[in-house]
């Protein structure tokens, strides 16, 4: 299944309290249903799909094309499993803005409930954010990061970036497993808007460039800075805001760390978009390694509306949906699976 990113326009305001409370309740029901049937890892596989996530937002009653869908749905999911995470063997950390920066601490808090070192999960959280802010340079600044993980150590990421000029948001999805953080790490991508030129250093096409970037990063910082100063300034990678002298301090750090590969380069603190752009430019111009400028996004679809489009949220129907699912879950846990099985049969008929 392909997962990835979604572009959404910026909508101001927030979900009404009455709607968010219903979203939280229904989100809790949906999570419990999925975990009961497919386990916590099954939920991660679904949440890692941008189309499934978008559809979930619509089911919960949010705007189909609002950037707030991501932040509100993630918040509803996080609050929805509050108090039952240990029972589900499923945990959610992070969120929007300042809350996103609490992700490592929230992961550490669950250290006593999971079977793997929290350091591996913190690394996955940090690297997924680093890749989408520095290695995939599409003009979107990451401001929301939600990290989903299980007792066994499987994980998924849903994060969003904002284009401050065009006021569009883009959502990125990740899923653990046989993942290479720096080569096609998003297991699929979906979007409503494709950018004309994106520096994609995690594309398969940029493989040779990643090798050369690691080699260059191990060079003495004076040598790298001198090379940048003498190269043409009109190259599309090297934008006007890159100052070789200001990058010198970062080059000292890469030189001292002697990274063995591109992932280690990217993981060094202080290495950001400008450093990666500069090293990518040197890689292409000095060694002729091709760079991929193709936007990795794809198109998406959805429908729904908290703002009344295409129709207002049906409050009575919403409550009825929550009641049906809650009753089915309760019956299943008591050994009476007829209602839950009926829902599954309905799903198959509708499919």
Give the model confidence (pLDDT) of 178-192 as tens digits. 899 999 999 776 666
Strand 141-150, strand 155-163: pairing: antiparallel
Separation in Å, CA 104 to CA 123, 203, 328: 9, 27, 36
**Which is more confident, 61 or 299?**
61
DSSP structure string for 202-213: TSGGGHHHHHHH
Residue 331 contacts residue 338 (beta carbons within 8 Å): yes
Tell me what pLDDT residue 204 has.
Answer: 95
% residues pLDDT > 90 (the chain): 53
pLDDT in tens, 214-240: 999 999 999 999 988 887 666 666 556
Can you tell me the distance from the alpha carbon of 160 to that of 63, in angstroms, rounded to the nearest whole number? 16
What pLDDT score does 195 carry?
A: 87
- pLDDT of 310 reads 40
Write down how long the chain is. Answer: 351
Measured CA to CA, the distance from residue 164 to residue 142 in angstroms comes to 11
Predicted confidence (pLDDT) per residue in 197-210, tens digit: 899 999 999 999 99
Is pLDDT of 196 > 70? yes
Work out the pLDDT band at 309, boundaries 50, 70, 90. very low
* Tokens (6 digits) for 73: 């749905």
Tell me which of 34-38, 165-169, 179-183 is least confident.
Answer: 165-169
* Cα distance between residue 227 and residue 167, in whole Å: 36
Ranking 5-9, 89-93, 105-109 by mean pLDDT, the lowest is 5-9
Considering the entire predicted model, what is its pTM? 0.82
Indicate the pLDDT class of residue 164, thresholds 50, 70 and 90.
Answer: confident
User: What is the model's pLDDT at position 52?
Assistant: 84
- Mean pLDDT of the residues in the chain: 83
For residue 128, count CB atoms less than 10 angstroms from its CB and return exposed for 0-12, middle for 13-18, buried for 19 or more. buried
CB–CB of 205/242 below 8 Å?
no
The CA distance from 302 to 341, in Å, is 27
Could you tell me the residue ranges of all domains in the chain?
A: 5-195+296-313, 204-287
């Amino acid at each position: 299944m392909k997962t990835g990113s979604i572009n959404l326009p910026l909508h101001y305001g927030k979900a009404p309290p009455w709607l968010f409370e219903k979203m939280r309740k229904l989100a809790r029901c949906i999570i419990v249903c999925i975990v009961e049937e497919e386990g916590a890892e099954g939920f991660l596989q679904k949440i890692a799909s941008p189309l499934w996530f978008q559809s979930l937002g619509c089911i919960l009653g949010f705007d189909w094309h609002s950037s707030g869908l991501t932040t509100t749905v993630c918040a509803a999911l996080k609050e929805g499993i509050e108090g039952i995470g240990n029972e589900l063997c499923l945990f959610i950390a992070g969120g929007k803005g300042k809350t996103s920066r609490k992700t490592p601490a929230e992961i550490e808090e669950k250290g006593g409930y999971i079977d793997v070192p929290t350091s591996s999960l913190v690394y996955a959280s940090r690297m997924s954010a680093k890749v989408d802010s520095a290695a995939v340079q599409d003009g979107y600044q990451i401001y929301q990061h939600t990290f989903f993980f299980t007792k066994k150590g499987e994980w998924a990421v849903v994060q969003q970036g904002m284009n401050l000029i065009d006021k569009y948001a883009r959502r990125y999805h990740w899923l653990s497993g046989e993942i290479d953080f720096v080569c096609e790490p998003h297991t699929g991508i979906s979007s409503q808007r494709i950018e004309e030129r994106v520096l994609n250093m995690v594309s398969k096409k940029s493989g040779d460039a990643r090798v050369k970037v690691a080699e260059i990063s191990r060079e003495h910082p004076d040598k790298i800075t001198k090379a940048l100063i003498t190269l043409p300034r009109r190259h599309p990678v090297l934008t006007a805001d890159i100052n070789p002298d200001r990058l010198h301090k970062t080059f000292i750090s890469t030189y001292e760390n002697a990274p063995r590969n591109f992932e280690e380069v990217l993981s060094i603190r202080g290495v950001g978009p400008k450093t990666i752009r500069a090293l990518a430019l040197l890689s292409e111009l000095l060694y002729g390694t091709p760079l991929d400028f193709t936007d990795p996004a794809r198109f998406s679809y959805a429908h729904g509306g908290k703002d009344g489009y295409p129709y207002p949220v049906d409050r009575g129907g919403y409550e009825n949906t929550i009641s049906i699912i809650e009753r089915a879950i309760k019956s299943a846990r008591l050994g009476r699976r007829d209602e839950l099985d009926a829902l599954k049969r309905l799903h198959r008929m509708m499919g």
